[in-house]
């Protein structure tokens, strides 16, 4: 069963303690690093163009996140991404806020054009705007515009030639020939800055122990979502929830994942 596979992948991740190279949102660097440490990975945050190629080639995965975007950041992302591609290191991309401004959209499209992406993870608006389709967005958050998210994910996977993970009330993961829906998570995640950024990095960590990247993405979503549900059982406000989420990422085990993961393969 998928649930047992997800639990086994969590065990494998902790045994491997993979190096996760993040070029990520500066607002949430500390939270992302702590979340990766909690689940069992080894984070590194390296941004300087002089070193990113060397760091990317020794990492288990490279995670690129456009949260705080500058021309210099994009330069580092492209250097690191091309090095990762050259050395067989998977690249996971989070096009934060694609569609919010022309610059942000242009840079997201440039990254997917110039780098071989293993998984792109975003909300529906971000993924649609990377593809050049109109979808409401406000700031760096998705609007509530309607649309068939499963169809969008399948189309994006085909057009971008990558695994696409679209997160929302129900998370959708599409590869070229498969689709998963993941029904884990909690509304409180939307009350804390950086929970999506951390999720992308955790999905990245799972690619180091599972080369079926659609399965890896679904596992990351389910484990993270289950930990989020466990955290909500202990607290009821955002400040304490952030700490509880880190605690649950640390303590969640194989059996809890197997019993709590709610996923469908279509």
24 annotated ligand-binding residue? no
Does residue 29 sit in helix, strand or coil? helix
For 182, the enclosing helix (H) or strand (E) is strand 179-182
167 annotated ligand-binding residue? yes
104 annotated ligand-binding residue? no
CB 57 within 8 A of CB 28: no
For residues 214 and 118, what is the distance between their CA atoms, to the nearest angstrom?
9
The separation between CA 27 and the C-alpha centre of its own chain, rounded to angstroms, equals 16
For residues 37 and 31, what is the distance between their CA atoms, to the nearest angstrom?
10
Residues in the chain: 266
194 annotated ligand-binding residue? yes
Would you tell me how many other CB atoms lie within 10 Å of the CB of residue 14?
A: 17
- Write out the binding residues for ATP: 121, 167
Going by the annotation, the residues of the binding site are: 45, 121, 167, 194
* Sequence ranges of the binding site for substrate: 45, 194
């Amino acid at each position: 069963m998928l649930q047992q596979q997800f639990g086994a992948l969590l065990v494998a991740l902790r045994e491997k303690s993979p190096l996760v190279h993040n070029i990520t949102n500066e607002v949430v660097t500390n939270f992302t690093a702590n979340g990766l440490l909690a689940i069992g990975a080894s984070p590194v945050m390296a941004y300087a163009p002089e070193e990113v190629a060397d760091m990317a080639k020794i990492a288990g995965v490279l995670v690129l996140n456009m949260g705080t975007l500058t021309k210099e950041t994009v330069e580092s992302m492209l250097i690191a991404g091309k090095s990762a591609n050259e050395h067989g290191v998977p690249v996971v991309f989070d096009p934060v806020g694609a569609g919010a401004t022309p610059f942000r959209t242009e840079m997201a499209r440039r990254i997917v054009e110039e780098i071989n992406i293993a998984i792109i993870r975003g909300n529906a608006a971000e993924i649609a705007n990377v593809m050049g389709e109109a979808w409401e967005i406000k700031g760096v958050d998705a609007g509530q515009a309607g649309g068939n998210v499963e169809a969008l994910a399948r189309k994006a996977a085909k057009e971008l030639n990558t695994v696409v993970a679209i997160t929302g009330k129900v998370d959708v993961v599409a590869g070229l020939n498969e689709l998963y829906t993941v029904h884990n998570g909690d509304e409180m995640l939307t009350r804390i800055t950086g929970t999506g950024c951390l999720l992308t990095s955790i999905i990245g960590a799972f690619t180091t122990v599972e080369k079926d990247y659609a399965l890896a993405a679904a596992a990351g979503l389910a484990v993270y979502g289950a930990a989020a549900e466990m955290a909500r059982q202990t607290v009821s406000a955002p400040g304490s929830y952030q700490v509880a989420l880190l605690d649950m990422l640390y303590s969640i085990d194989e059996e809890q994942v197997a019993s709590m993961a709610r996923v469908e393969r279509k």
